[in-house]
Amino acid sequence: MNKRHIAVVLSVIVLIFSFQACNQGRKKKVFDTKPVSVKIFDTPPGADPSVPAELGGKGFKGEGWMTKSDYNILGDLKAVKGGRFTISMRDFPITLRTEGKDNNTDVNGLIETLLYETLLNVDPVTGEFIPLLATHWQISDDKLTYRFRIDPEARFADGKPVTADDVISSWELVSNPDILDPFFSVMFQGYEKPVAESKYIVRIKSKEVSWSQFYFLATSLKIYPSHYIGGISGQEYLDKYQYRVIPGSGPYIIDSNDIKKDISLILRRRSDYWAEEKRFATGLNNFDEIKIDINRDENLEFEKFKKGEIDILRVTRAQIWAEKFNFDEVKRGLIIKKKIYNEDPVGVSGLAMNMRKPPFDDIRIRKAFAHLYDRQKFNEKLFYNSYWLMNSFFPGTIYENPSNPKPGFNLDSAKMLLAEAGWKDKNSEGYLIKDGKIFELDMPFSKGMDRYLTIFQEDLKKAGIKLNLKETDAPTLFKLGNERNFTIINVSWSGMPVPNPESYLSSASADNVNSTNWPGIKDSRIDELIKKYNSEFDREERIKYLRQIDEIGCSYFPYVFGWYGPYQRIAFQNKFGYPESILSRTDNFLISAVMWYNDPYKVTEYEEALQNKEINFPLQEEEVKYWIDLRNKLNSGLK
């Protein structure tokens, strides 16, 4: 053991003793929950003895391979296991699959995070590759061939070992166009079929030299058990696993009895998670039960939160944040509000206009709509000036092109553009007419959007446009967009830590049903720049390419851009423990299910305070800028 490791061990020991001393005399909650096991295969621990060391078996030295052992951890060293955690979501997902069509929801993302694992992960601070299912990795000199050594200790929830065959079957599944997920199928078709060099070593060759090929392969390919998905057709996978959950190697499972469609979903912690003692799992995956409670009604959701039936609430509306948190539990410190600034990637939000058909096949109409969407008024009147106006596909990042158009509300400019497009005359009701038809559109929306869309509706009417607002639910909106069955529709995409413009700005993505290129952007210049971006290993050059892509994409006015906030607004019951950062650097509030834990001392005091209104907790600072401060320190060269 070297001096650095000795220092780390001593620090942990000191921390533990300090923690114990601080809690002397406090009552400790005993949780009535337990982890579970669904293991049916009793595989002996460790490596298969028939696999020699040089092929990844016992005694593997890793000479000539890359690995990482001294990396930052995301969890809290003081974390304890046990108890329940309830999260509220507005809609039950169309499917519980984490691959294929209709899987792009927050709920699917949480399932993916907790049930399945990738070959590698990234350091939560530096972004460097760290082990996960693979202990070691290699990149060939020509940067086309990648090799991974799978951890012989890795096991799926049913007890089967994770092997190279599982990597092959997983690649075959996600690269299959028949699962109707063109983003991933196209991405993974960029590799040749993986080859098993042994039970634990898999080789994968990229079809092109690209800085992103290794990154996406290592961190985006979820590994599923081949004894479930091996040889399955795309359609069979879509049908068979619509609401049936495949066991993964991750720390949680979902039992079919815990799936209450449109009501709730429970994830249960495994008692036999293979990586429980691994460094990357330190302080993580602590709740025995994670319940996803479906609450379509915003007011009902808020009342349930006030009663303590929901543990954490994502507050997306500035009005609620500013006006509704003045009740007794907040004033007494039983409920905490936090505005956490981090680098959760922001995607495009606003209104997508379908450029494939009238009236938005005319750029003058699209520009007119941009001038009629009074974002500044929304921000001032409805959002307490809480947001930044969006004018980019990469808002608030180094990739945003500062010269992008920034249309503001201007009724006269909109009328002029409409007239240039042939919409000059009006009927007796004041609506524009052309070729005997009035300018009339239907727009689907989810509940809550009407507070600003009705203002937009009135401003459109002033310009002579009739907008019919059609309330629907989020899954239906998503389906309409994926199938391109819309004229104008509200969107709010999540971003990616590493931009992949090919998935939503390339010409090919415009024609791929289920891709996120809903407006239908097609431009050969963008396609060429994407090729250059993908093959460029110099980060500064990649930034230049993305800015050019951003400028060209925005020049089409495919979206009426909305607004964004570089933070997570959350409120939660004051009974949890968590690291100083509270959330991770690049994730949204759902990462709390991974990072947080039920503090047995806080839970007891919280429950006592619920019964005794004389008990108050110290109030806390609302804003948390841990990640911003750390970024500034790193940028300034400080340690």
Contact partners, residue 604, CB within 8 Å, separation at least 6:
26, 27, 28, 29
Buried b (16+ CB within 10 A) or exposed e, 390-399: bbbbbbbbeb
What element of type H or E holds 318?
Answer: helix 318-323
Q: Quick check: 12 pLDDT over 70?
A: no
Contacts 24+ apart (CB under 8 A), 272-275: 272/37, 272/39, 272/155, 272/157, 272/159, 274/151, 274/153, 274/154, 274/155, 274/249, 275/132, 275/153, 275/154, 275/251
* 388-389 and 134-139 beta bridge pairing: unpaired
Q: Decide if pLDDT at 310 tops 70.
A: yes
Amino acid at 64: G
pLDDT cut 70: percent of the chain above it: 95
pLDDT of the residue at 639: 39
Q: pLDDT tens digits for 245-274?
A: 999 999 999 999 999 999 999 999 999 999
CA distances from 514 to 102, 103, 504, 540 (A): 8, 10, 11, 32
**Quick one: which of 275, 276, 323, 313 has its CA closest to 293?**
313
Range 346-564 has CATH code 3.10.105.10: yes
Paired sense of beta strands 195-196 and 145-150, if any = unpaired
Note the Cα 164 to chain centre separation in Å. Answer: 27
Does 2.40.50.430 match the CATH number of domain 44-73+91-250?
Answer: no
Q: How far apart are the first and last CA of the chain?
A: 24
Q: In the structure encoding, which two tokens stand for residue 237, read together? A: 């996978």
Query: Residue 25 contacts by C-beta under 8 Å, 6 or more apart in sequence?
Result: none
Give me the pLDDT at residue 617, please: 97
CA dihedral 420, 421, 427, 430 (to 10 degrees): -70
pLDDT in tens, 204-219: 999 988 888 999 999 9
Side chain identity at residue 62, one-letter code:
G
10 has a pLDDT exceeding 80: no
Q: How are beta strands 440-445 and 466-471 bridged, if at all?
A: parallel
Residue 268, pLDDT score: 98
**Three-class SS of residue 55?**
helix
- The tens digit of pLDDT for each residue in 393-410 reads 999 888 899 999 999 999
Type and span of the H or E element at 289? strand 289-294
In angstroms, the CA 392 to CA 394 distance is 5
- Which residues belong to CATH 3.10.105.10 in the chain? 346-564
Q: Where along the chain do the CATH 3.90.76.10 domains lie?
A: 44-73+91-250
